Amino acid sequence: MALGLLVALATAGSTAGAADRPTEFLGSFESGGEVSLRLSGGANKAVDRISIHAIAANCHPGSATLDFNIHGDTPVLDDRSFAVRSEDGTGGKAFVKGRFSRKYKRVKGAVRVHGKFFDKAARCDSEKQRFHGSR
């Protein structure tokens, strides 16, 4: 009898831990490129990593695709929305805002990457690009 109770408690504990594991979301931009988000936490959810890959941008001179990574906890508000502004050491800036679906299965939002890139030789701006993604 005690062994059966112990197994039941161990199973319940492992299920609760699975809910706290980070969830990865992958999305795409309207003009190509991808964004990935990692959502962590149980009751206090936070976006702890955002990776922007190959977002199209107008640069002076020419055009390019840009990559940008954001690390750190960005809280998810009660309405399932989040927003973060980040700057790298070379003068590049990114603004990301989004909102998760009710059951946290999908995410949609917008990204803008701008500033000086390529050893500060080019001033680039992706303008605001919308994305949608899922886990």
Domain boundaries, the chain: 21-134
CATH number assigned to the domain covering 21-134: 2.40.128
Q: How far are the Cα atoms of 58, 72, 116, 124 from residue 47, in angstroms, in the given order? A: 28, 8, 26, 26
pLDDT reported for residue 31:
85
Residue by residue, pLDDT tens for the chain (135 residues) are 433 333 333 333 434 445 568 999 999 998 889 999 999 988 899 999 999 999 999 999 889 999 999 999 999 999 999 999 999 887 899 999 999 999 999 999 999 999 998 878 889 999 999 999 999
pLDDT reported for residue 90:
79
pLDDT reported for residue 113:
96
